Structure formats: C-alpha cells, structure tokens
Amino acid sequence: MPRIPGSRPPVGLVRDSDLVSIFARRDPASRRYEKVGDIMQSPPPTVGPDMSVQKAIMKSFSDHSRLLVVTDREGKVVGVVTRIDLVKGIRFRPVND
C-alpha cells in the first residue's frame, strides 16, 4: 500500500461494488458521477489495529463494506483489511463430542 509522508486521515473509500454498479447502468443518470468524490463512501469505514477480529467483522457488515481501513490513533492509514482477511483470522474451537 502506498504511504504518503505527512498524509492526512482518509476521506473516503471507493468500493468495487460502487464501480460495477455504475458501469452496469445504462441510464443517463449514471453519467452524473464524474469524480471519485461522487461515489466514495465518506467517511470510510475504519478500525484500529487493536480491534478484535470479531468486532471488525461486525463493523464490516454493519457498514456494508468488504474492506476496512486500518488507522492509527492519529487517524493515519496503516493498512487495510478485507472480510476474507478477517475470516482467516477467526480461531475456531474444536467441537467436543
């Protein structure tokens, strides 16, 4: 992920589903989207690096986003996490028979 020294906190997130829905439309109304700011989710869904995997999964679903921006205490981006990443992080307990 690119890092920009002294960068500000993220202002938005463009989801792949947003792009697909725009390109899939064939009506003239879809032409109103001319800039990234027109379609981005703002503010972006963010989590801290210390948030539990379970809470992050719940936030992902409540925010309707398959990607969460990970920010530090100052709000600067330190990474991103996807739902797939979160599912991989779940530790399952064996079922006792």
pLDDT tens digits, one per residue of 12-33: 888 877 777 777 766 555 567 6
With 70 as the cut, is the pLDDT of residue 86 above it? yes
Give alpha helix (H) positions in the chain: 16-24, 36-39, 53-62, 83-88
User: How much is the average pLDDT of 77-93?
Assistant: 84
pLDDT at 55: 93
Q: Which residues contact 61 (CB under 8 A, 6 or more apart)?
A: none
Arithmetic mean of pLDDT, 33-47: 83
Which pTM does this prediction carry? 0.71
Q: What mean pLDDT is predicted for residues 50-72?
A: 92
Question: How far, in Å, CA of 82 to CA of 89, rounded?
Answer: 11
Paired tokens of 39: 């379609």
| Backbone phi and psi for residue 88, each to the nearest 5 degrees, phi listed first | -65, -25
Mean pLDDT of 31-48: 82
- How many whole angstroms separate alpha carbon 5 and alpha carbon 63? 28
